[in-house]
Amino acid sequence: MKNTLLTTLFCLLFSTLQALSQENSVYSYPQNYFGNPLNIPLILAGNFGELRPNHFHAGIDIKTEGQEGLPVLAAAEGYVSRIKIEASGYGNALYITHPNGFTTVYAHLKSFNAAIATYVRQQQYQQQSFAIDITVPPNVLPVSKGAQIALSGNTGASLAPHLHFEIRDTYSEKAINPLLFNFPIQDTRPPVIKSIYLYAYNRFYQKKMPPTEVSILRDKNGQYRCKGDTIRVDADYFGVAVNAFDQQNAADNANGIYSIDLYEKELLCFEMEMHTFAFDETRYLNAHIDYAAYVEGKGMRHKCFSEAGDKLSMYGIRQNLGYIPLSPNEIVPIRLVLNDVAGNQTEIRFFVQKKFSTVSNDTNHTNSANGLPFCYYGTYNFYENDQIRVEFPPDVFYNDMALAYFSENTATSRFSAVHHIFDYTVPAHTYFNVSILPTRLPANLHEKALIVLKQKGRTYPLTDSHWEGEYLSGKARGFGEFYVDIDTIAPAIKAASTYANKKMSASSVMSFSISDNLSGIDTYNAYIDDAWTLASFDAKSASLKVTMPPELNAGKHRFRLEVSDYCGNRQVLKFDFLR
């Protein structure tokens, strides 16, 4: 009896603590364990969960006073467990694993400290590759809290100098909001609402209707209201979307929202919190936002309703997927609440009423036009005709939708018809396979052929284009115009200076720009006296730099730079220089 009572009390205590932990996410994370990774006050240019192209921002972006080269410090003791170098993305990045079950990430770095730099160089020469992604054993590169590990920079896809900083769960590798660990960032500013939109949904008629923009007013005290208070919508159901941002005290950057709660008649019907997420779900951002509005330049909107195939874990309650029902003559009170991590809150209240319906209850919406099939989310879909085959894996679509397809011959259709598959306003979550039967393609150009995707006038090569019988196939992750083209032109190499017969010092750097006309740069390799030499590549500037190896002897040396594209075209630049 006594043991049963103790067990019951323990279970009650555990349940209470678990509930408190879930109610206040800060409770479960160590406070003040991690230190400032810079020697300057923390001012944010971006925060966790911000809406970015095709992904949620996985960390915080810390300002570095507009410059590169500031000391970057280990936020706590641990060891460098992973080093990743890439021409885009995070650029130069370090991962430090800590004994408390968390890993910190430092990205867009300019350079590493001496010990890490030596280790990285050894690995790059061993793999004969500038780009590396290596796991480091625990005893190789230990660090103490506050030790300098690198210098801040602007490498990779960074558009301005800053430090990208993350905290991840070491075991699950999920990204966690660093602001939940109590970093010293002053924030008394509540979120700002830019605009609100209402999306109509009719159960019998699924023609896509443009959203209704709500006119927003803000008084001198910062309180929000809607002009006219009551918004009329011609729909059986409606969803709410909001374009909003947050700011901290020391900067005016428009950062992301931490949480959103939507109430219907004071009952919570939708909630979202930017607390943590897994990297394999981050592309569901394209289901969370109004993707068509985004790609048409109208900004990113948080939808407070979700698509049937949206698998984001950051949602809580989603009553009817967040859609709110409307009955004739009913006026529905709505309350939208936005929060930041510091507890600042913004809310707006308004009313929605059903407009007299002028929409026909046409139940033939399931019949696709022109005999084209429906594409169902969560299942495999396939379409073919005598010119094209398209295979859609189960996770390509977020909703069931009629296939939109037609083909035509245009000025660009030299080697196949131009196949229109949906358009650029429709998101594709995963890669799908496109196979096109070429026309008028000479046999001697088969190795130079590739599939090209065209969106809004820009071309994107399917770099894995390959032959499957008579069809040219490739994987795409976007919709638009597909056709077969050829790339017979070698990449271009342009030297920043005249290096031939020039005397180079130990610290000299040779700089080049490399580019390709269509299929894109595949490989780049530099050689000095026929020995592979490290060449650092920055994708955003298309610049390649070769620093003189310190062990290079005095005298005359041969330099060779080889650059290839995805169609196998190769350009070679050779010259002699002095050392």
Lowest mean pLDDT among 151-165, 214-228, 232-246: 214-228
pLDDT at 37: 98
pLDDT at 506: 81
**Chain segment 435-490, per-residue pLDDT in tens:** 999 998 999 999 999 999 999 999 999 999 999 999 999 999 999 999 999 999 99
Residue 193 and residue 242 in contact, taking contact as beta carbons nearer than 8 Å: yes
pLDDT at 538: 96
- Give CA–CA dist 111/93, Å, rounded: 9
- The verdict on domain 367-486 having CATH code 2.60.220.30 is yes
pLDDT at 286: 98
Length of the chain, in residues: 579
Other Cβ atoms less than 10 A from the Cβ of 94: the count is 26
pLDDT at 367: 43
- The verdict on domain 492-578 having CATH code 2.60.40.1220 is yes
**What's the Rg (C-alpha) of the chain?**
28
Tokens of 578: 């002095």
- Give CA–CA dist 124/133, Å, rounded: 10
**CATH of 33-181 among 2.70.70.10, 1.10.10.350, 2.115.10.20, 2.60.40.10:** 2.70.70.10
Mean pLDDT of 170-198: 96
pLDDT at 366: 42
The rounded Cα 507 to chain-centroid distance in angstroms is: 37
Q: Which of 347, 47, 315 is nearest to 180 (CA)?
A: 47
Lowest mean pLDDT among 113-117, 215-219, 310-314, 534-538: 215-219
Residue 24 and residue 275 in contact, taking contact as beta carbons nearer than 8 Å: no
pLDDT at 12: 35
pTM, to two decimals: 0.91
